[in-house]
Structure 1
Amino acid sequence: MKLIRFGAFGSEKPGIEIDGVRYDVSNIVRDYDEDFFADGGLEKLKATFDASKAAVVSNDVRLGAPVRRPGKIICIGLNYRKHAEESGMTVPTEPVVFFKATSSVIGPNDTIVIPKNSKKTDWEVELAVVIGKRANYVSEAEALDYVAGYVLHNDVSEREFQLERGGQWVKGKSCDTFAPLGPYLVTRDEVANPNKLNLWLKLNGKKVQDGNTDDFIFNVQEVISYLSQYMSLMPGDIISTGTPEGVGLGFKPPVYLKEGDVIELGIEGLGQARQEVVAYKG
């Protein structure tokens, strides 16, 4: 099942997509949020939905992020071997963990805004995992049982804020519009192996990232189990699992986003997204 949210920013409604057709399910689901996942919403939706009685949503309608304001976005840094190498950083022996502010979430095709005073805004295509039920101290063997589904994420990053201004990475990751999610949440049953998915990103039509999650240093099960040792993973929480090589920071000389750039990205089975880039005006 593919979950979508559609409509104007801040007023999205829940829907599903089946064979390329989008349906409104707001008559049976309030929204895709913590309560929905915690209350067995996925199972109820599967049992209740009837395409013959559902309103069809035009493909022209804007898509929002497929999860409504997650409780937290947890990111794993330097989680692909080749990306760690291009960044000139040591391959980590434990997952590098940081948070991304939920206020940075936008829809899959919304505009990315280069923040005020930014000189080094960068791109990162990532596989994101949506937690389906509360997880504490889970083993790697049972970790996937706690997954609701998977979603495409562009972990937009300001490298100067992240790496040159002291403190933690979070301030280089949390600017408004820095977390485009979607187009949809693909439920766990439709993804045979999250640790073997192709993912890619194009900048102005040129493919700059072309990787596979089989290059993970820490796979999805390891990351979920690891994080659950230190915090409660709550329904609707998002874990972004890192990016493959090909980010702007890794170019020689580095290449960063500028107004007018167009980003296209996708993950095998999880759809594609497109984001135009503008400069902050204020």
Structure 2
Amino acid sequence: MQYLARTTDGRALLGDEDGYVPLSAADPALERVQDALPRAAAGTLPAVEDAPADRIDPEHVQFGPPLERFGKLWGIGLNYEEHAGDLDEQRPEEPASFMKPNTALTGPGGPIRLPPAERTDGVTAEAELAVVMGRECCDVDEAAVDDVVAGYLPVIDMTAEDILERNPRFLTRSKSFDSFLVVGPALVVPEEPLDLEELTVRTIVNDSVAAENEVRNMLFPPAEIVSFHSSVMSLQPGDLFSTGTPGAEPIEPGDHVRASVETIGDVEAPVVR
């Protein structure tokens, strides 16, 4: 695995299992993580060991969001059959997608800021696997999705369930409050195609596993999600698909939330109001 990341003060990093180096030290043409996304999709990122720089221990790095600015933020609802059943919802025949504004996104560590209670008092947190695009594309066949994806992130998605319950047309509003999407600290770039079906996604609140499931049990796997949406619109580097949750858990101020995606990593954040 290779990793693309940014510090809280905006320095772009390239990493492997042994640590990070400045991205521009590995290749002076790559000043920003955004610049490296097409090469991540193509499998041509420079090697960390070839950079004339000492490795930085990730324990000594304060990570911000991996990209200075993401593109389109897509979410997929009801993508695990068990979760749809828990909500007494019918299995969708096509991806049940929605979009979130860029202002909803915050970096690792959050915090997740709950809106005033009079606005919503029923927020849930959901762990998800996210896919980040690396190349501009349109009408991509499922078999070619690996060629346009830069990498993967763990994310925490939030929903104001009480708003959504009042009317399903309020979905966008229920998903769009500031800090309602927490992204992981590093974009994971597989050096070989990754068998996503084997991965387990867990929603963890206060160190207790609230929900878990394997990607193999998604109704629409990541490659199908990307292919389907590429037939609707052009996808661009930095676009993100949050692929659905195995289950949501109500959260309150003082709680601590973690999304854990096997092999991809964890992201966590405290809950405040």
TM-score by length of 2: 0.89
Amino acid at match of 2:109: N
RMSD of aligned residue pairs (Cα, Å): 2.2
Query: Is residue 135 of structure 2 the alignment partner of residue 137 of structure 1?
Result: no
How far 1:81 sits from its partner (Å)?
0.6
Q: Which residue of 1 aligns with 2:239?
A: 237
CA distance in 1 between counterparts of 2:99 and 2:207 reads 30
TM-aligned CA distance change 1:140 to 1:275, over 3 Å: same
| Deviation sequence 1:196-252 (CA, Å, 0-9, x none) | 21111221121111211111001111111110110111111101110113x13xxxx
Determine the structure 2 residue equivalent to 1:109.
109
Q: Match for residue 73 of structure 2?
A: 73
What is residue 25 of structure 1 aligned with on the other side? 23
> Within 5 A, what are the aligned runs for 1:118-133?
118-133=120-135
Cα distance, 1:142 vs structure 2: 1.4
* Residue 63 of structure 2: aligned partner: 63
Ranges in structure 1 where 5+ consecutive residues have no aligned partner: 249-255
Q: How many residues align?
A: 267
The Cα of 1:147 is off from its aligned counterpart by 0.8
Q: Give the Cα separation in 2 of the matches to 1:212 and 1:5.
A: 29
Match of 1:251 in 2: none
Deviation at 1:37, TM superposition (A): 2.4
1:14-43 Cα distance to aligned partner (Å, 9 max, x none): 11232252333255332222x542477976
Q: Give the deviation of 1:134 after TM superposition.
A: 1.2
1:94 and 2:94 are equivalent in the alignment: yes
Give the 3-state SS of the residue equivalent to 1:221 in structure 2.
Answer: helix
Structure 2 Cα separation of the partners of residues 101 and 123 of structure 1? 17
Counterpart of 2:5, as a letter, is: I
Is the deviation greater in 63-72 or in 73-82?
Answer: 63-72
Distance 2:97 2:91 in 1: 14
Residue matched to 1:268: 262
The amino acid that maps onto 1:182 is G
Deviation at 1:12, TM superposition (A): 2.0
**Is the CA contact 1:36–1:42 (under 8 Å) kept in the aligned structure 2?**
no
Alpha-carbon contact 1:191-1:269 (below 8 Å) kept: no
Q: Return the TM-score normalized by structure 1.
A: 0.86
Within 5 Å, which residues of 2 pair with 1:218-237?
218-237=220-239
Deviation at residue 87 of structure 1 after TM alignment: 1.1
Cα 1:209–1:40 change in 2 (3 A) is: closer
- Residue 270 of structure 1 aligns with an amino acid whose one-letter code is I
Q: Alignment partner of 1:167: what SS?
A: helix
Structure 2 CA distance for partners of 1:124 and 1:58, relative to 1, 3 Å: closer
Alpha carbons of 1:207 and 1:39: their partners in 2 closer, same or farther (altered >3 Å)? closer
Q: Which amino acid aligns with 1:76?
A: I
Post-superposition Cα deviations, 1:31-58, rounded to whole Å, max 9, x if no partner, equal 222x542477976641586345246266
Secondary structure, counterpart of 2:97 in structure 1:
strand
Q: Which runs of 5+ in 2 are unaligned?
A: none
Identity %: 29
Residues 228, 144 of structure 1: alpha-carbon distance in 2 compared, 3 angstrom cutoff: same
